[in-house]
Amino acid sequence: MCILVHRSPTPAHPWNAQLRVITIPAGLSCASELIAVRAVLAELGIPQPDDEAVCWCGAPVEAYRVPAQRHTSEGACVAS
């Protein structure tokens, strides 16, 4: 995975190309975090599958991967 995700109480810019970091608001639910990360990746032109967020290299953004037996709204996220 080439992209990192950072949570911030006051995110100024969602994408830092130099650091390859997506910044999302702190305090979002897991489902909202997944939506936010996927939205940034989609804006960067990276096609997103239905059940996870993927990097431009094709690797899943691990904190936002949804296990196959779950629905998107039930996916777990890992706080960093």
3 state DSSP class of 62:
helix
Please tell me the pTM assigned to this model: 0.74
The Cα-based distances of 22 to 62, 63, 64, 69 in angstroms read 13, 12, 13, 27
| Placement of tokens 């967020």 in the chain | 53
Query: Among 35, 44, 56, which Cα is nearest to 15's?
Result: 44
| Residue 21: its H or E element | strand 21-25
Sheet holding 15-16, edge to edge: 4-8, 21-25, 15-16
pLDDT tens digits, the chain, 80 residues: what are they? 688 898 899 888 999 999 999 999 999 988 899 899 999 999 999 999 988 899 989 998 866 544 444 444 444 565 44
